[in-house]
Structure 1
Amino acid sequence: MRPGAPPRAPGPGEVVARALASGVSQGTELLLFRGEGPTPFDPSLDAEGAPTYPRRYGYAWVGEVVARGEGAALGPGDRVFALAPHGDLHLLEPGAARGLPRSIPAERAVLAANLETAITCVWDAGVGLGDAVVVLGGGVVGLLIVALARRAGAVVRLVEPSERRRQVGLALGAAAALRPEDDRLRGDADAVIAATGHPEELDRAIAHAAREATVTVASFYGARTSPVALGAEFHRRRLRLRASQVSTIPPERAPRWDHARRFALVRALLEDPALDALLDPSVPLDAAPSVYAELAAEPGARLQTVFRYGARSATREAP
């Protein structure tokens, strides 16, 4: 799990940063842990035949710059976020390190990646003022979607089996938080967002959607598949099924928004201490093997798992 020193000194525009905290993306990383990810898992990174597990993965990493190359925009002492794997040190290419203010605690800052995903999903779903929105799944992404949809003026219902996650959903603005067995499939939602990680839940999403509504899929299912009923309910209501993917800006916004503007919004949202409700107590990186085993055994028991690093461990208190 732990890389050694950077392979070389930073070149022009590059920085070396030392870890403060990193977050586990439970849905994606458990696909890898269970061997349920597609092969290759990431065509842009993986060589043909690369294993899905064991491997070092992650994309919610917060650190502090310790060395800079000529012309780098960030310097020693600056706090940064990067879409980088878990590990002590990273050599980050120009543009890979995104600056963070010290007013945002490092543990909360690991939410940046999932906040980008949630923002994009709310945009893709077309959530508007006064809309009735159903969110299926109260993992970290689902709960961030609840919070953002409420900020956009929607009335949000969360469907989630975990009592703890339902309570966090209510704290973040959900009007109702229901167990799946108590969920009434009323067909009245203006937007339905599927964030359970389970493809079989698409039938529930379709049953919630009102006529001409959009069902937006936030989850990455990996290699998992499930039959989906596209008969009477889906067909006669003229529903739309849309995938949301964070790598690109939705086409309706792309003429005005770019990744830098979206991350500026992420930074502003991360100032909200209410997001700390999503954070579990941090654990040392050396405990990763047991942490992944526990997450796989009881995935609904935790929210945002955060790894801490050495004597420079992150705290929830701003320095």
Structure 2
Amino acid sequence: MTSAACYRGEAFWIREPGQGDIRPVNIDRTGVADAGDVVVETLFSAVSRGTESLVFHGAVPESEYQRMRCPFQEGAFPFPVKYGYANVGRVIEGPDDWRNELVFCLYPHQTCFRVPGSAVQRLPRNVPPERAVLAANMETAVNALWDASPRVGDRIAVIGCGVVGSLVAWLASRIPGTRVQAIDPNPDRRDTLAALGVSWSAQADGPDDHDLVVHASGQPEGLQVALSLAGVEGRIVEMSWYGDQAVPLTLGGAFHSRRLSLVSSQVGRISGFQAPRWNHGERLALALRLLAAPELDALINSQGAFHDLPESLARVAAPDSGVLCHRVRY
């Protein structure tokens, strides 16, 4: 602690492609409660592997620099930048009704921080903080299903079973009567999806009769597979974000004769179907409630200490790392 009016903390910054470091930060604690702010001591954060890998490797296109900013980002793309949005901690200062509350915040990897009280969400009592780091991923999956509008009995394929794809498949499988197939070439996904109660395939080898196909692999060829699986009047929801990578797509063949619909889904904007009635805070609160299911712990398959993040993020962000969610301990 530097003084009675200030906490000393540390934050992780990406300073250049594939390189990060830990930097000191001072947190002003004057007038916290009067301002309606809270000071949070971080317990856990998580690496959102898809997006954070693109940021870590400097693959954010210049056209997306503003849209890709996260809520409490510091610095600017491409570098140096403090980036992240999966933080779980305990309120150590703030209004009386916030003190000692466990909260989730869309905040980068940092040991301690001050934000407005409106920026944090209390954890439900039945959601442990270790699992709550999945909240941002769950929120993305919820928004995707709002965009997809699955129906009772739908035949659904999910291509790409990272954390978000697996969560989409898990949520879809809980809709009565659905047939859900999760497709990912990584054989390690079999046990993870089995823990979620979802059927896994290494490749798309089933009928092309799907009512709904969700693509979340991040690989351009996966989107072409998604088109091939959709039945007549089928819907394809594209969740992958490719950064500065070009995506070739063949729209000949049956694309037009089957009258397929290709829809984008991105968590920064609430699905148009729900936006008149839901705001971002309500959607995040829903995501946190859904994390009460203990089987979701299977999605966290890597863990390390905060001070190891400069080295561990390089490993996690490697294309062949096999990491789903990397949880950071503080």
Fold shared by both chains (TM-score > 0.5): yes
Q: Distance in 2 between matches of 1:254 and 1:300?
A: 36
| Residue in structure 1 matched with residue 52 of structure 2 by the alignment | 29
Matched, 1:66 2:92: yes
Q: Provide the C-alpha distance between the structure 2 equivalents of 1:211 and 1:73, rounded to a whole number of angstroms.
A: 57
- Offset from partner CA, 1:110-143 (integer Å, 9 cap, x none): 0000000001111211111111111000100011
Q: CA deviation at 1:164?
A: 1.6
Q: Which amino acid aligns with 2:230?
A: A
Give the aligned partner of residue 221 of structure 2: 200
Q: How does 1:185-196 map to 2 (within 5 A)?
A: 186-196=207-217
Unmatched 5+ stretches in structure 2: 1-11, 13-21
Higher mean Cα deviation, 9-18 or 254-263?
A: 254-263
Q: Distance in 1 between matches of 2:155 and 2:109?
A: 38
Question: Which of 137, 148, 152 is the matching residue for 1:114?
Answer: 137
Which residue in the other structure is 1:93 paired with?
Answer: 116
**In the alignment, residue 184 of structure 1 is paired with which amino acid?**
D
Secondary structure of 2:118's counterpart equals coil
Q: Is the 8 A contact 2:124 2:289 kept in 1?
A: no
- Is the contact between residue 20 and residue 62 of structure 1 (CA under 8 Å) also seen in structure 2? yes
Residue 300 of structure 1, CA deviation: 4.8
1:84–1:266 distance in 2 versus 1, CA, 3 Å:
same
Q: Is 1:278 the equivalent of 2:302?
A: no
Q: Distance in 2 between matches of 1:28 and 1:297?
A: 13
Partner of 1:317: none
Change (3 A) 1:54 1:40: farther
Greater mean deviation of Cα atoms: 81-90 or 95-104: 95-104
Aligned to 1:39: 62
SS in 1 for 2:35: coil
1:244 maps onto 2:270 in alignment: no
8 Å Cα contact 2:27-2:114 kept in structure 1: yes
Structure 1 or 2: larger strand share? Answer: 2
TM-score normalised according to structure 1 size: 0.88
The match for 2:158 is 135
The farther-off stretch of 215-224 and 202-211 is 215-224
1:292 alignment counterpart: 313
* Equivalent residues of 2:211, 2:231 under 8 A apart: yes
Offset from partner CA, 1:247-291 (integer Å, 9 cap, x none)? 232222223333333233222211111111111242101111221
1:156 to 180, 195, 219: 180
Shift of residue 162, structure 1, vs aligned partner: 1.4
TM-score (norm 2): 0.85
Tell me the SS of whatever aligns to 1:157: strand
**Whole-angstrom distance in 2 between the partners of 1:240 and 1:119:** 20
1:281–1:184 Cα change, 3 Å: closer
Give distance in 1, aligned partners of 2:123 and 2:299: 19
Q: CA deviation at 1:40?
A: 5.8
Deviations 1:66-103 (A, max 9, x none): 111xxx58522011101110110111124111111343
Q: For the Cα contact (< 8 Å) 1:81–1:99, is it kept in 2? A: yes
1:211 match: 232
Q: Quick one: distance in 1 between partners of 2:46 and 2:318?
A: 19
Query: Are the structure 2 counterparts of residues 224 and 281 from structure 1 closer, same or farther at C-alpha, using a change threshold of 3 Å?
Result: closer
Residue in 2 aligned with 1:232?
Answer: 253
Query: Which piece of structure 1 moves more, 134-143 or 164-173?
Result: 164-173
Pairwise CA distance, 1:295: 2.0
Q: Any conservation in 1 of the 2:46–2:87 contact (CA below 8 Å)?
A: yes
Q: Aligned partners of 2:245 and 2:28: how far apart in 1?
A: 37
Name the counterpart of 2:4: none
Which has the larger displacement, 119-128 or 299-308? 299-308
CA–CA distance in 2 between the matches of 1:265 and 1:36? 31
Residue 82 (1) aligns with residue 105 (2):
yes
Shift of the alpha carbon at 1:53? 4.4
Identity of aligned residues (%): 39
Of the candidates 194, 206, 221, which is equivalent to residue 170 of structure 1?
Answer: 194
Distance in 2 separating the partners of 1:163 and 1:129: 29
The match for 2:7 is: none
